[in-house]
Amino acid sequence: MAGEKEHKKGRFDNDAAASLVKELRKTFASGKTKSYEWRVAQLKGIAKLVSEKENELVEALYKDLSKPETEAHVTEISMIKSACTHALKDLKQWMKPEKVKSSILTFPSSAEIVSEPLGVVLVISPWNYPLLLSIDPVIGAIAAGNAVVLKPSEVAPATSSFFAKYVEEYVDRSAIRVVEGAVDETTALLEQKWDKIFYTGNGKVARVIMAAAAKNLTPVVLELGGKCPLVVDSNINLKVAARRIVAGKWGSNSGQTCVSPDYIITTKTFAPTLIDALKDTLENFFGKDPLQSKDMSRIVNSNHFARLSNLLDEDKVSSKIIHGGQRDEKRLYIAPTMLLDAPQDSKIMNEEIFGPLLPIITVDKLENSFDVINSKSKPLAAYLFSNDKKLEEEFVGKISAGGMLINDTILHLANPSLPFGGVGESGTGSYHGKFSFEAFSHKKAVLHRSFGGDAPARYPPYTPGKQRLVKAMLEGDMFGVICALIRLVRG
Ligand code: NAD
C-alpha cells in the first residue's frame, strides 16, 4: 500500500499529495467511476473486506480502544455491512434522474434533477469509531460515483494500519486510496484542490479544514460534537430509562461517542430516585469494580486520560462527585462517574466531556431545562425521557439540535431514513442512507426543450401586447395569458 509506505518513510508531503490527486483525477476523468457497475463492484468489495477480515477488525478495535467484541460488532462492523447492503439495494433508485414539474414559463418542456458525482473527494476520520466513521462516508462517496482518498485517524493506529494494509486489495485502487498520517500528512492533503471534504472530528480542527477548503471554494461536510443534553422527567419507566441511559453513556465506548449524553437535567425532587436507579444499573452492567469490567472500553490514550482527569480535578467539580471517580492511569480506565450540580462555569459544564463522566444538573421545573440547553452551543443530539406528550412537543419545538431521540439514547443514528449530522457548532451537512449519496452528489438541474412552441413574446421588439402576455405568464394568470394571446393574434 503506497500510502502507508510513503507515510512511514515521511515522504507523504505536498508533492506526494499532488501526484495522488492528479492520478485520481485522471481516473475520474476517464468516466469509469460513474457507471452503476463500477459502484456496485466497489461496494461489494468493501462488504467482502469487512466480512473476510472481521476477526482482524475486532482485534484492531481492541488494540485501539479495548473495544469489547460485542460492541465492535454492533456499533461498527454490522453498521458497515448494513450500510453496504442498503446502498447496494437502493443504488439504482438513487441514481435515477428525478422527474420534476415543468412551469408555464418554459412550456413546452420537461425537467429533471440528475445526480452527478462531485469528482475527487477527501474523507478525514476520527479515532472513536475508527471503522464506522471512516468507511461509512467512503460508502457514500463510492455510491455517488466519486474517486476518494481516506485519511484515517492516527489516534487509532491499529485500525488505520488495517485500512492501509487491506482496502486497496478489495477495491479499485486507481480511484480509492488510503493515506495514513497525522497533522503533516493531513496538511499536505488539505493543500490540494478537492471537490468535497468530509471531516469528522472536533470543532477546532474543523476550522482548519474549512479555512483550507475555502481557498478552493470546496464544499465541506463537518461532522462535529458538542454537549448532548439528556432531560429526564419523573413519569417514566425508570428501569428501562436507566438501562438506556447507562448503555448510551458508558456502554458505548465509555462515553467517547459524539452522541453520548454529555449531561443530565432533571428536577431536584426526582434526582435522588434517578441517581439510585443509575447506580443499580451500573453495578448490574459492569459489576462492583467497573475498572476490571471487560465490557467497557478504555480511554483512547494518555492525552485524553489527562484531559478527562483535568475536568474532574477542578476544585469546584471534584467535590461534586457522587459516584465513581476511580482511575487506573496505567491501563487508561476511568470508572463511570456521576457528579451532582457541577457549577455552570466549570470546565466540565462548558467543554464536551467525551468520556465516562456524567454531570447531573437539577432544576425546579423541567421546563427550566430548555434555558440551560439553549444557553449552550447547539448540540449534535438532544434526549428526553418522558411520557408527557406536551413536554415532548415543547422539547422538539424549542430545542435546536442535530438530531433528537425521545425515551432512548444514540439509536436514532441507526435509522438510515434519518439524516445524521449537526447544526451550528455541532456541524454542517449530514449523511447515512440516501443522505450519504446526496452528500457526495451534485443535483444537476436539466431542462429539456424542443424547437417547437417558440413564443415570439419573449423577444424584442417589446410591445404592450407582449408585455401583457409575459406579465400574465409570470403571475400564473391563465385567463390573462389567453386574453393577451388572443389580442396578440388579432393584432
Ligand atoms: P482525531 O484526533 O482523530 O482527529 C480527527 C481527524 O482530524 C484525524 O484524522 C486527525 O488526523 C485530523 N487532524 C487532527 N489535527 C489536525 C490538524 N491540525 N489539521 C488537519 N487535520 C487534523 O479525533 P477528535 O477530533 O479527537 O475526535 C473527537 C471529536 O469528534 C469529538 O468532538 C466528537 O464529538 C467528534 N465526533 C463527531 C462525530 C460525528 O459523527 N458528528 C463522530 C465522532 C466524533
Q: What is the mean pLDDT of residues 7-18?
A: 79
Q: Which three cell numbers stand for residue 442?
A: 451534485
Q: Is 258 tagged catalytic?
A: yes
pLDDT of 19-33, one tens digit each?
A: 999 999 999 999 999
Q: Which atom of ligand 1 is nearest to the CA of 151?
A: 9
Q: Which three cell numbers stand for residue 167?
A: 482496502
Q: What is the mean pLDDT of residues 318-330?
A: 97
Q: Are 235 and 388 in contact (CB under 8 A)?
A: yes
Specify the residue with its C-alpha closest to ligand 1, atom 24. Answer: 201
Residue 152 banded pLDDT, cuts 50, 70, 90: very high
b/e string for 208-244 if b means 16 or more Cβ within 10 A? ebeebbeeeebbbbbbbbbbbbbbbbbebebeebbbb
Residue 146 one-letter amino acid: N
Distance CA 82, CA 74 (A): 11
Alpha-carbon 42 to chain mean position: 22
pLDDT surpassing 70 at residue 45: yes
Q: How many CB atoms lie within 10 A of CB 385?
A: 26
Residue 456 banded pLDDT, cuts 50, 70, 90: confident
Give the count of alpha carbons within 13 A of 223, CB side only: 27
pLDDT of 165-192, one tens digit each?
A: 999 999 999 999 999 999 999 999 999 9
Q: What is the mean pLDDT of residues 89-97?
A: 98
Q: Which of 65, 153, 154, 210 to mutate to test the pocket of ligand 1 (most atoms within 8 A of CB)?
A: 153
Q: Which of 185, 194, 205, 351 to mutate to test the pocket of ligand 1 (most atoms within 8 A of CB)?
A: 205
Residue 4 banded pLDDT, cuts 50, 70, 90: very low
Specify the residue with its C-alpha closest to ligand 1, atom 1. Answer: 126
pLDDT surpassing 60 at residue 273: yes
The reply to whether omega before 219 is within 30° of 0 (cis) is no
Q: How many CB atoms lie within 10 A of CB 423?
A: 17
pLDDT of 377-393, one tens digit each?
A: 999 999 999 999 999 99
Give whole-number Cα distances, 110 to 97, 101, 104, 315, 475, in Å: 12, 7, 11, 68, 21
Q: Which of 12, 202, 262 to mutate to test the pocket of ligand 1 (most atoms within 8 A of CB)?
A: 202
**Domains of the chain with CATH codes:** 2-224+433-443 (3.40.605.10), 228-421 (3.40.309.10), 459-490 (no CATH)
Per-residue confidence (pLDDT) for residue 123, from 0 to 100:
99
What interhelical angle do 183-190 and 14-30 show, nearest 10? 50
Q: Which three cell numbers stand for residue 412?
A: 436514532
The more confidently predicted of residues 490 and 140 is 140
Q: Which three cell numbers stand for residue 310?
A: 483535568
pLDDT surpassing 70 at residue 10: no
Give residues (CB < 6 A) around ligand 1: 124-128, 133, 151, 153-155, 182-183, 186-187, 200-202, 205, 208, 223-225, 258, 352, 354, 380, 422, 427
Per-residue confidence (pLDDT) for residue 5, from 0 to 100:
43
What interhelical angle do 203-215 and 183-190 show, nearest 10? 30
Per-residue confidence (pLDDT) for residue 189, from 0 to 100:
98
For the question of whether the overall pTM of this predicted structure is more than 0.75, the answer is yes
Q: What is the mean pLDDT of residues 108-137?
A: 98
Distance CA 252, CA 235 (A): 26
- For residue 363, give the 3-state DSSP assignment: strand
Q: Does residue 124 come out as left (phi exceeding 0), alpha (psi in the -120 to 50 range) or beta?
A: beta
Instruction: Report the DSSP beta bridge partners of residue 403.
Output: 381
Q: How many CB atoms lie within 10 A of CB 276?
A: 12
Q: What share of the chain in percent tops pLDDT 90?
A: 92
Distance CA 317, CA 267 (A): 20
Q: Is 393 tagged catalytic?
A: no
